Structure 1
Amino acid sequence: MFGAVALQMQTAFGGTSVEHLCTNWLYDGVGAGAAATCLLRDRDSGDRLAWRLIGAGILCWTVGDGYYTFALQDLSSPPFPSFADLGYLAFYLPTFIGFGLLVRSRVVEFTRSVWLDGLIAAFTVCALATSLVWGVVWRSSEGGLGAVATNLAYPSGDALLLALLFGAVALSGWRLTRGWSLLGAGLALFAVADSVYLVEVAHGAYRYGTWLDLGWPGGFVLIAAASCISVKQTRPRQLEGRALIAIPVVMASVCLTIEVWDHFQRINTVALVAASLGLVAVLGRLALTFTEHLVLLEATREESLVDALTGLGNRRALFRELDTFLSQPNGGEALLLLFDLDGFKGYNDTFGHGAGDSLLHRLGGRLRDSLGGRGQAFRLGGDEFCVLVESSVGGLEWVRAAAHASLRESGEAFRVTCSSGHAELPREADNSRDALQIADRRMYTAKGLIGTDNGSRDVLLQALVERDGYLGDHTNGVTHYSAALAQELGLVGSQAKLVRAAAELHDVGKLALPETVLAKPGQLDEGEWELVRRHTLIGERIIAAAAGLEDVARTVRSTHERWDGGGYPDGIAAEEIPLAARLISICDAYDAITSNRAYRQARTAEEAIDELRASAGTQFDPKLVEIFIESVLPRMNRQAAGSLPALTAS
């Protein structure tokens, strides 16, 4: 019907009879059909009332227009206001209520910021609409109070309709689905067409038969189409970045323009009040945004310093506390204690990671409570905890006893305890890194991992030395460099232990390679290279056969992977490669370049550095390469010259 009306209105085809059919019958038939679609559409209980109200509003408008067409149109002086105006104006109230119910049922969450966005949009659009239309209609209104009130009711209803529409879009976080787009477009088309009609009538410029007259039925068609689409619930989108401030600024600019323009050409009071309320809402929104960002900043700062699992301070928090304490002149004495859980890996493997996380949460809470407010507890990661207490060495025993008592739990199938090491501050260390290193070394001594027999690991190392003296020297060099790089990265506890063990055993797979391949002075052929590329897999199998070295085995497997994915045996790339393996590969290459090999002489340190930099980003992790070159090598050179204590890696 709408297509026929539009075609006839613009082309005048069919003569007077067709024009009469389209103008008097089909025109209002579009509205009646749209109303029936909304009223009779089978919706769920949450939507039915809303669409029936909107359908009732369209039906009222259609009845009013039909009354005007058949009862008043041919009169030389039709009464005003009339029953037609009653039908036209009856469109607004049920439509407002129905639209509001749809918004309430479809938008899941209304926060303070969402409400303010809705108010800003509503007040701004209302101010703009009334400033353009309301004053024009007011000045052209004639007759008694009823006539003037009826004249002003139309632009007021249109302005409120546009305000509600834009407010609803703002409430949804400026997110439009297909259904909402159709409904919004239909209501907006109706309101804009009605407003333009009022302005043209006020200026005496209105003429029937233009595109303007298609605005009302066109809006009804879009609304009816929206009623046929199931609109899902939406959660308001959180605006971020520039959009967060751009929309309030644009709305404020519109309101401010209206306020300023009033000084040059008087604008009606309704528009001024709406613009002022819009500015107030914008100020409230900016204040709320500032407050929300302060809360977010505080939460982010808190999260950056707190371990999410245990609620204790994390590694960053520990370093901050240590740096603060050690930077104070005459800051007194303090004890730093480092703890590593014994038996936790077996517990995790037996009961699962969920149970392991619960255990860490319980132990962390007990550790904090055991200090009685006299110190701070931290979780460094994994199964490593730390305590910082302002006390002299005389308080060491009570702190250690309290912590050991809290970091233990046992049952029928498990027993978890801890080992510890300590550092006295500032007597033994004047910076946080050295303090952790001292505590770390003492903790491993307590575990029996330094200066004692490590069983399977020592057997493998000795076998490697007996097989090839160069491999023994090379292993020592790689281990020394790797421990220094791990220390520079702040790795302690089980992470540092893993780096050292994997560095010591990274070439153990070469035990299975023929002597002719290991000692060959020339280039290897493809078959020999294939054997060499298998040595990390062989090493993994050898190491994994020893209980407790599973993580070391997995790390050794990846020591010849490349940053660009071109390595072996798995072809993994970038941060898919374990950190310990990336670290060891750099140290392995540096020591190999600066050592005599069967097929070439040793190269200088400068040449080795150039080679590492040339391969950064392809073979090696570029960040680790720079740390190794800029921090680790200079530090080790100073140690060799006697300006620093010798490195003792755990």
Structure 2
Amino acid sequence: MFTENRRLRDELRTTHARIAALEAERNDYLRKDRRAGVLTLDAFREAAAAALRGSQRRGEPAALVLVDIDGFRALNGRRGAAVGDEALATVALRLRELVRGGDVVGRTGADEFAVVMPGANLAGARGVAERLVAVLEQSGPVTVSAGIAVDGGTGQLDGLMADASAILERARIAGGGRVGAPGRQPSVEPSRGAIGALALALAERDRGTGEHAEQVVALAGAVARRMNLDGEEVERIAAAALLHDIGKVAVPDSILNKPGALNDEEWAVMREHSIVGERILRAVPGLGPVARMVRHGHESWDGSGYPDGLAGEAIPLGSRIVLACDAYDAMTSERPYRPAMAPPEAVAELVAGAGGQFDPRVVEALVGYLEDRTPLEYAARTPA
């Protein structure tokens, strides 16, 4: 009898333990946002408030980082909810990789995340935010803006959220893809002047390259609008089109102006220009997304391009648009080593390359735009 009672007690303990584990698992499941895998708003507020009280008791600093996905509503509308969900998951994953074990991460809005960092000062919080912005710029396809607030000893979550939100809004107004912090006021669109200066430098370096860039800008902007991209993305693509050859400032004149075909060594130097272009543009605040488009401006839809051999949707859409428009303008322009093609002939080349070198959707949009142009405009590009 004693043995039987002990067995029953053991079974009862095991059952209770299983129930407790299942209950804990259920509670954890309910506290996590299903799309992002971080705490829900209510769970975040509870955990963040506790973390702030702990920092206050210990006399430690604390910081809050608020992160917003740039252009999330347009991304959802343009590419669907599944792509929006993927963007949320990507940002949450990168954020979890960057924060410390004791930091509290939650989804606080449709396209917004927050991190409470107990024991962290402004420099520590800024480091996390800037690394997140840089990682997402380099990996794509989304970029984020961030705002930072530092606890002054009150331990009040709502006050920190309000301060970080105001700073985040200034970062968004300034063009997105950047970090705002206390005492740091980002100026509105600081990259516009830099874009003009770089374009002028390119034109001075090689007048033909500068004129070609202007033609590509007009085509790329028209194609982007025809593909129903939002205004902000059209501007970024136009900037990438204008500066897609900026890396050629580092190419020697003997290669850049060679009248004949390049040899293998010369091609190796020429192919570096997209990487050089990316480095130049990344030095300009706010031009990270444009720099990424420029780096991948010679990637092919089928993966045969350079410098990274990306394929399909892994290539930034702006890069795919600029590539096709660049190719069309190059084919219909005179070169020292060949005459210009007639527009219909160049269009045939684009169509033949769809699915290989070019994104078929981009080719369709570009050809549609060209065919909609007036006969006079079309004839103007036709060699006599």
TM-score range relative to shorter protein: 0.5 to 0.7
Counterpart residue number, 2:354: 616
Q: 2:214 aligns with which of 465, 473, 476?
A: 476
Q: 1:501 aligns with which of 233, 236, 239?
A: 239
| 1:340-489 → structure 2 map (5 Å cutoff) | 358-360=108-110, 410-411=163-164, 414-417=167-170, 454-489=192-227
Kindly provide the CA deviation profile for residues 6-31 of structure 1, in whole angstroms up to 9, marking residues without a partner as x.
xxxxxxxxxxxxxxxxxxxxxxxxxx
Kindly provide the CA deviation profile for residues 181-240 of structure 1, in whole angstroms up to 9, marking residues without a partner as x.
xxxxxxxxxxxxxxxxxxxxxxxxxxxxxxxxxxxxxxxxxxxxxxxxxxxxxxxxxxxx
Aligned partners of 1:360 and 1:383 also within 8 Å: no
User: Cα gap change, 1:513/1:359 in structure 2, threshold over 3 Å: closer, same or farther?
Assistant: same
Partner Cα distance (1:542, 1:312) in 2: 28
Amino acid at match of 2:255: V
- Per residue, is there more helix in 1 or in 2? 1
Of structures 1 and 2, the one with the larger relative CO (CA 8 A, separation 6+) is 2
Kindly provide the CA deviation profile for residues 319-363 of structure 1, in whole angstroms up to 9, marking residues without a partner as x.
xxxxxxxxxxxxxxxxxxxxxxxxxx9xx99x9899796355579
Kindly provide the CA deviation profile for residues 155-203 of structure 1, in whole angstroms up to 9, marking residues without a partner as x.
xxxxxxxxxxxxxxxxxxxxxxxxxxxxxxxxxxxxxxxxxxxxxxxxx
Identity %: 39
Deviation at 1:315, TM superposition (A): 2.6
Deviation at 1:575, TM superposition (A): 1.4
User: Cα gap change, 1:462/1:312 in structure 2, threshold over 3 Å: closer, same or farther?
Assistant: closer
User: Cα gap change, 1:314/1:541 in structure 2, threshold over 3 Å: closer, same or farther?
Assistant: closer
Aligned partners of 1:479 and 1:503 also within 8 Å: yes
Aligned partners of 2:191 and 2:284 also within 8 Å: no
Partner Cα distance (2:334, 2:193) in 1: 31
Counterpart residue number, 1:516: 254
Q: 1:542 aligns with which of 263, 266, 280?
A: 280
Deviation at 1:539, TM superposition (A): 0.6
Q: 1:556 aligns with which of 289, 294, 297?
A: 294
Q: Provide TM-score, normalisation by structure 2.
A: 0.53
| 1:122-141 → structure 2 map (5 Å cutoff) | none
Does residue 1:633 correspond to 2:351, yes or no? no
Deviation at 1:607, TM superposition (A): 1.2
Partner Cα distance (1:312, 1:532) in 2: 36
Kindly provide the CA deviation profile for residues 476-503 of structure 1, in whole angstroms up to 9, marking residues without a partner as x.
0111111011001111133222211111
Deviation at 1:606, TM superposition (A): 1.0
Partner Cα distance (2:75, 2:310) in 1: 34
Aligned partners of 1:410 and 1:416 also within 8 Å: no
Kindly provide the CA deviation profile for residues 576-614 of structure 1, in whole angstroms up to 9, marking residues without a partner as x.
111111111000100100111232221110111111112
Partner Cα distance (1:310, 1:523) in 2: 45
Amino acid at match of 2:291: A
User: Cα gap change, 1:361/1:469 in structure 2, threshold over 3 Å: closer, same or farther?
Assistant: closer
Counterpart residue number, 1:589: 327
Amino acid at match of 2:259: P
Counterpart residue number, 1:405: none
Counterpart residue number, 1:315: 77
**Any stretches of 5+ residues in structure 1 without a counterpart?**
1-43, 47-308, 319-344, 364-380, 385-407, 421-446, 642-650
User: Cα gap change, 1:474/1:490 in structure 2, threshold over 3 Å: closer, same or farther?
Assistant: same
- 2:299 counterpart SS class: coil
Aligned partners of 1:521 and 1:598 also within 8 Å: yes
User: Cα gap change, 1:489/1:313 in structure 2, threshold over 3 Å: closer, same or farther?
Assistant: closer
Kindly provide the CA deviation profile for residues 39-79 of structure 1, in whole angstroms up to 9, marking residues without a partner as x.
xxxxx979xxxxxxxxxxxxxxxxxxxxxxxxxxxxxxxxx
Amino acid at match of 1:542: I
Aligned partners of 2:173 and 2:188 also within 8 Å: no
- Kindly name which structure, 1 or 2, has the bigger radius of gyration based on alpha carbons: 1
User: Cα gap change, 1:410/1:596 in structure 2, threshold over 3 Å: closer, same or farther?
Assistant: farther
Partner Cα distance (1:533, 1:556) in 2: 12
Partner Cα distance (2:241, 2:230) in 1: 15
User: Cα gap change, 1:448/1:575 in structure 2, threshold over 3 Å: closer, same or farther?
Assistant: same
Deviation at 1:512, TM superposition (A): 0.6
- 1:358 counterpart SS class: strand
Kindly provide the CA deviation profile for residues 87-122 of structure 1, in whole angstroms up to 9, marking residues without a partner as x.
xxxxxxxxxxxxxxxxxxxxxxxxxxxxxxxxxxxx
Does residue 1:601 correspond to 2:363, yes or no? no
Does residue 1:529 correspond to 2:288, yes or no? no
Partner Cα distance (1:500, 1:355) in 2: 36
Q: 1:568 aligns with which of 306, 322, 330?
A: 306
Partner Cα distance (2:256, 2:218) in 1: 23
**Deviant stretches of 4+, over 6 Å:** 309-313, 351-356, 381-384
Deviation at 1:462, TM superposition (A): 0.4
Aligned partners of 1:482 and 1:584 also within 8 Å: yes
Aligned partners of 2:333 and 2:340 also within 8 Å: yes
Deviation at 1:627, TM superposition (A): 2.1
Partner Cα distance (2:340, 2:215) in 1: 14
Cα RMSD after superposing both structures: 4.3
**Any stretches of 5+ residues in structure 2 without a counterpart?**
1-9, 13-70, 81-90, 114-141, 146-160, 175-186, 379-384
Partner Cα distance (2:365, 2:106) in 1: 34
Q: Provide TM-score, normalisation by structure 1.
A: 0.33
Counterpart residue number, 2:52: none
Deviation at 1:458, TM superposition (A): 1.3
The number of aligned residues is 239
Amino acid at match of 2:238: R
Aligned partners of 1:519 and 1:598 also within 8 Å: no
- 1:591 counterpart SS class: helix
Amino acid at match of 1:507: D
Partner Cα distance (1:544, 1:419) in 2: 20
| 1:269-348 → structure 2 map (5 Å cutoff) | 315=77
- 1:414 counterpart SS class: helix
Aligned partners of 1:594 and 1:603 also within 8 Å: yes
